[in-house]
Amino acid sequence: MSVAHQTMVEPCHKPCPDLSCYSLNAAQKAKGLVNLKKVRSELKEKQLEPLRVKRKELVARANHEDTRQLERARIAEEIQRIDRQAQRIQERWS
């Protein structure tokens, strides 16, 4: 029976630490962080917009006078599900 030996190597966080061309200056870091924040907010809005539209439609249907009580209860559950999903998206992208 043979035993395999593994050697663990510390991962390098920079490809070549002595070359300054691999590091970002403060302005580049700030610009990157601003862009990252912008993209995160755009992605969040892109995911939330269909939920807002669907919720608005459901609220209008629930408030319609021809809607039966059982249907209103089902719509209320669907609205709560949409609210929970929107909350998860808010937490994930904030």
In whole angstroms, give the CA distance from residue 10 to residue 84: 41
Residue 20: is it exposed, middle or buried by C-beta count within 10 angstroms (0-12/13-18/19+)? exposed
What's the count of helices (H) and strands (E) in the chain, helices before strands? 2, 0
- What is the number of alpha carbons within 13 Å of residue 32 lying toward its C-beta? 7
pLDDT in tens, 13-27: 655 655 666 677 888
pLDDT in tens, 38-72: 999 999 999 999 999 999 999 999 888 888 999 99
In whole angstroms, give the CA distance from residue 30 to residue 32: 5
pTM of the model: 0.67
